[in-house]
Copies of this chain bind each other. A is one copy, B any other.
């Protein structure tokens, strides 16, 4: 028999093996679930064991069973657990990538999300040079935001037109002329993976952004770099490629697509906290 590394809990390992089997090959068409016997054979375990484990998993909502075919599928609780932490997770995990972008070009870098028709900046890392406007927590209409094109990359043209029309107070000035430009930019963002927005808030600023996708494949945020220096103007597309690449890496870290775990590079283990500086375990919750 093959030796099982005994470091992990046996029950946990068994349950996760089962879940992994139920996850199947991802988007495979055999999404109607799997039977007990097949799973047992697939794992080389006892039917009874798998049957009992699945019953427990179902009781907890980790899997659910089609009452007709008696086959099991992944359950709602997995989704509920993951969905709740998605937002907090976003900001926390984004920091390294935003910093990397800011450092790479020595320009201001941002993390933005879409809130209705407004673009909310969640995180901003300034360049080494002066005047950095703090945008964190500030909402800007999507048309005026540099990251807007990336955030809308998944939208179909009609919706974008509606949004643009609704956001602009009245059909005036350059709106009509820029609408087609917007759609073109969005199409470019969709294909190339990054968007370049010229003359938004400020004529002196050009924003290069790229969409970030979460574990569901939806665009949940955008990374953005505002190119202010003349040096960058000549290589916007080069910058765009890098931003897109960074956004892609970030997306994978969020669980996008069928990405491999990425073993999380060995940490330098710097220091261990004894007593936490600020006692936070006070948020009272009644069980």
Contact = CB atoms under 8 A, between A and B. Distances in A.
Interface stretch (A100-108, A168-176, A187-195, A225-233): A100-108
Contact of A126 (B7, B116, B159, B166): B116
A6 B61 CA distance: 14
Nearest to A281: B38
Contacts of A273: 35, 68-71
Interface size of A as a range: 35 or more
A215 interface: yes
Interface string A273-284: 100100011010
Contacts of A12: 11-12, 15, 53, 56-57, 60, 62
A239 to B, nearest CB: 16
Interface string A28-55: 1111100101100111100000001100
A287 B128 CA distance: 35
Given A35-B273, A59-B8, A79 B254 contact: yes
A205 interface: no
Contacts of A235: none
B84 A82 contact: no
Contact of A134 (B6, B13, B15, B87): B87
Interface in A83-103: 83-89, 91-92, 95-96, 99-100, 102-103
Contacts of A59: 6-8
A53 B115 contact: no
A249 interface: no
A64 B265 CA distance: 12
Interface in A119-175: 120, 122, 125-129, 132, 134, 136-139, 154-156, 159, 162-163, 166
A264 interface: yes
B13 A60 contact: yes
Given A74-B82, A80-B137, A86-B74, A128 B115 contact: yes
A42 B215 CA distance: 29
A178 to B, nearest CB: 19
A22 B213 CA distance: 23
Given A76-B113, A115-B61, A126-B116, A83 B7 contact: no
10 contacts: A6-B59, A12-B15, A31-B91, A32-B269, A37-B281, A42-B281, A73-B89, A83-B122, A99-B155, A102-B116
- Give the top 5 A-B pairs by smallest Cβ distance, nearest first: A116-B128, A31-B88, A79-B255, A83-B137, A82-B82
